[in-house]
Chain A
Amino acid sequence: MSERDLRQALREFISHELLMDETAALDDEQELLLDGTIDSLGATRLVGYIERTWGIEIPPQHVTVDNFSTIATMAGYVERRMIDGSGS
C-alpha cells in the first residue's frame, strides 16, 4: 500500500467514524489533536483501527504526538512500522 493510499484510508476513517461527517475536508498536515478533531476516545479508536487494518501492534510508548498529530505523521509512522517493524 502506498503512502497515498494509507493517507486516504486514515482520512476516511477519521471523517466517517470519528467526525461522523463524510463531507469533512481534512488536510494531511492539519493538527488533529489540537483542535478537537480527535478526542481521547477517538485516539484510542484510531490506534485500534490502525492495528487491525495493517496488522501491526502499536506499543503504548509509540502513541505520541510526534507519531499521531497529523494524517501525514500517522501515515509515515504506519509505513515505517510496516517496513522495518520499528517505531519512531
Chain B
Amino acid sequence: MGVRMVYLLQQLVAEAADHDPDQLALVCRDSRLTYGELEQRSNALAHALIERGVERGDRVGVFANKSVETGVAMYGVMAAGGAYVPLDPTSPPSRLAYVIQDCGIHHVIAENRQRPTVAGLERLGVKLDTVIGLTDADIAYPAMGWTEIGSRGEAPRRRVMEQDLCYVLYTSGSTGVPKGIMHTHRSALSWANVTASEYSIGDDDVLSNYAPIHFDLSTLDFFGGAKGRATVVMIPEEHMKLSASLASVLEQSQITLFYTVPLALVQLSTPGVLDRRDFSSLKRILFGGEPMPLKHLHSLMRKLPETRFFNVYGPTEVNGVTHYAVLGPPPVDGDALPIGLPYENVEALVVDEEDRPVPQGKVGELAIRSATLMRGYWGRPDLNERAFYFRERFDGLPEVFHRTGDLVHQDRDDVLHFHGRKDRQIKSRGYRVELDEVEAVLITHTDVVGAAVYGVPTQDGTTEIHAAVTLTRASAATPSSLRTYLAATLPGYAVPTTLTVLEDFPRTTTGKIDRRSIAEATTALSRIGEKS
C-alpha cells in the first residue's frame, strides 16, 4: 500500500486502519470499534448524509451523550465534507435552538434519548431537514436508522480542502448568547500532531475521553489518540460524576493517558478513592481548564508516584498552546503552577494594549501565533476583529496572532505564568463562563432592574458563580424563580449558585456597580448562615 496523504482530520482514522484494521479505536461501556470498523462505519454514514443533502461545508449537529456511535457520527460528518457541531444534551432547549439557528444547521444526528427534546425544538420554531438516529435502536426517527446506512466502506469522493471547517464548538459569549469557535482540518490536524508528539502517544496507549464532545478537551483525546493509533476509552457520563466509579473505569480500562479538569483530580485525591487499586498503567495525567489546587495535586502525586503530571493550557480558539511538566509533588503553600512553555509550533508574545511586546517579567496579554489557531468565530465579524491582529513579516506579508484575553508574564526561563483575565470570563468546573452573559440574560427578565454577577473561589479550587439583582417595586420574583428563569436559557454550570435580591447596589466613586463589595458582603452573609 502506498503512502496516504493526510490533510483531513478523518484521514487519521483511515491511516490507522491501513496500518492495523484490528487495532481497537473506540470503547464505551460494552461497545468497541476497531479502526477498520470505525472507518467503514463513518464512511457509510457519510454516504447516507450526502444522500440526505449534506454538502461540503455544511454544519451537522451531533446531539448525543457518549457512545462509540457518537465517535462514528463525528468522523462521518467530516467524511461527508461537513463540520460537526456538538449539541450539549444538558443544555436548555432555547440555547440548543439558538445554536442550531445561529450556525445554520439543517441536519442533526441524534440519539433516541434526545427525541423529546428534538420534538420540543421543532415547537420552538427550529426547522430541520433530517434527523438521523444514532444507533439501530434509534430507528424510530423519521428519515432513517442505522441499519439503512449499510456498509459502504469507501470514503465518499468529495473535494474537501484543509482550510474547510471540521468542527464548530459553542462557548459562552459576553453578549448573552453563545459563540461558535470554528476549527479547520488544518488547525485540528496540527493539534493532533502536536499532542501525539509532545505526549509520545503510540499504539500501545489507552487514552481516556473524559470531557463531553462539546468541550474542547475532547479533541485531544479523539484526534491525538487517532494520530497515535491509540485506543480511546470514552468514560460514560454516569461514571464521570462519582469518584469511585471514575477510579474504577481508569483502573479497569488500564488508561495510560488521562486528560481531565482539576475538579476530577480533586475528587480522585479524596482519601480512600484510589486505595487498593492498581494504576501501574497510568503513565500520564494531563489537566487543564483552570488552575489546579496544589494541596490536592500534592496528595495525588504522592499516591501515584510513577505517573507524570502536566499542566496544560490553551483556549478553545487555539487548542493547546503551552504545557508544564510537574516534576514532583509541589509545596502545598507554594505559588500557582506555571502554564508553562509554548509547544514547538507556537509563538507566544506578551503584549500591551497596542500589541507591542512588553519587557520580560511584566504582565501583559498573551498573543499566540500557531498552526492550531481557529478560523474565527462563526458569523461574528465584531468578535473576530478583536480576536486577531496582524504583524508584518520580514517579507512584508502579514502574520496572524490571536489575542487570548489571558494575562501572563514570562519568566527568565521563558516559562509563562497566568495572572487572570482581561475581561470577565471565568472558569467554573473547567467550563468557560462569561459573567457578562449571565448578567445579560438576567436583565432580560421583566422584573430585573440591575444585575451583578461575580465569581467566588471555592475550597476545591474552582470558582462558583453568584448573582445579586435589584427588582422593580411591584415585583413578585424570588431568587428561586429567577434561577429557574436563568436555567431555561443557560447551561447548568453557568447558573449562579446563589442569587441575592438587594434594595440597591453599592457603587464605586465613579458610579459603577461595585461587584467586589457585593461579593464580600454576600459571601460574609452566607458564612454566617452556615455557622448558625
A20-B495, A34-B237, A41-B429 in contact; A62/B244 too (CB < 8 A)?
Answer: yes
* Interface residue from B90, B244, B492, B495 paired with A63 (Cβ < 8 Å): B244
- A65 touching B242, Cβ below 8 Å: yes
Interface string of B242-271 (1 = CB under 8 A from A): 111100100000000000000110010011
Given A23-B484, A35-B113, A64 contacting B244 (CB threshold 8 A): yes
Encoded as 1 (CB less than 8 Å from any A CB) or 0, chain B from 108 to 122 comes to 000001000000000
Interface residue total, chain B, C-beta cutoff 8 A: 31
B358 within 8 A of A: no
Give residues of chain B (454-510) contacting chain A, Cβ–Cβ below 8 Å: 462, 480, 483-484, 487, 492-493, 495
**Complex Cα spacing A60 to B273, Å:** 5
Instruction: Find the B residue at minimum CB distance from A17.
Output: B497
B480 touches A65 (CB 8 A): no
Q: Which single residue of chain B is at the shortest CB-CB distance from A32?
A: B238
Q: Is A61 an interface residue (CB 8 A)?
A: yes
Across the interface, B264 reaches (CB within 8 A) one of A22, A40, A65, namely A40
Contact call B267/A40, Cβ cutoff below 8 A: yes
**Among B244, B429, B480, B495, which residue has its beta carbon within 8 angstroms of that of A61?**
B244
Report B220-247 CB contacts with A as 1/0, cut-off 8 Å. 0000000000000000111111111100
Q: Is B319 an interface residue (CB 8 A)?
A: no
The answer to whether A42 and B272 touch across the interface, beta carbons within 8 angstroms, is: no
Q: Is the interface of A mostly helix, strand, loop or mixed?
A: loop
Q: Determine if B82 is an interface residue (Cβ-Cβ < 8 Å).
A: no
Per-residue 0/1 for A14-45: is the Cβ within 8 Å of any B Cβ (1 yes, 0 no)?
00100111110000000101111011111110
Q: Which residues of A contact B86 (CB under 8 A)?
A: none
**Contacts of B244 on A, CB cut-off 8 Å?**
60-64
A40 to B430, CA, bound (A): 12
B65 interface residue (CB < 8 Å to A): yes
Chain B residues near A64: list those with CB within 8 A.
242, 244-245, 248
B219 to chain A, nearest CB (A): 21
Q: Which of A20, A23, A39 is within 8 Å of B241, CB to CB?
A: A39
CB 8 Å contact bits of B318-344 with A (1 = contact, 0 = none): 000000000000000000000000000
Least CB separation from B478: chain A residue: A22
B483 touches A40 (CB 8 A): no
A22 to B492, CA, bound (A): 15
Give residues 35-88 of A contacting B (CB, 8 Å): 35-36, 38-44, 59-65, 68-69
Q: Which of B242, B273, B480 is close to A43, meaning CB atoms less than 8 Å apart? A: B242
Q: Are A68 and B242 touching (Cβ within 8 A)?
A: yes
Partner of A40, one of B90, B263, B271: B263
A35 touching B89, Cβ below 8 Å: yes
Instruction: Select one of A23, A40, A61 contacting B272, CB under 8 A.
Output: A61
Verify B241–A40 contact, CB threshold 8 A. yes
- Are the C-beta atoms of B238 and A34 separated by less than 8 Å? yes
Q: Is the CB of A42 within 8 A of B241?
A: yes
Give the shortest distance, in Å, between A22 (CB) and chain B (any CB). 6
Chosen A-B contacts, 18 in total, with CB atoms closer than 8 Å, are: A20-B484, A21-B484, A22-B484, A34-B65, A36-B89, A36-B237, A36-B492, A39-B90, A39-B241, A40-B429, A60-B243, A60-B271, A60-B273, A61-B272, A63-B244, A64-B248, A65-B239, A68-B242
Question: A35-B65, A40-B241, A65-B245 are known contacts; what are 5 more A-B pairs with Cβ within 8 Å?
Answer: A20-B484, A38-B241, A39-B90, A39-B429, A64-B245
- Which A residues are within 8 Å of any B CB, using their own CB? 16, 19-23, 31, 33-36, 38-44, 59-65, 68-69
Closest 9 pairs (CB-CB, A-B): A36-B90, A33-B238, A20-B483, A60-B272, A60-B273, A40-B241, A43-B241, A63-B244, A63-B242
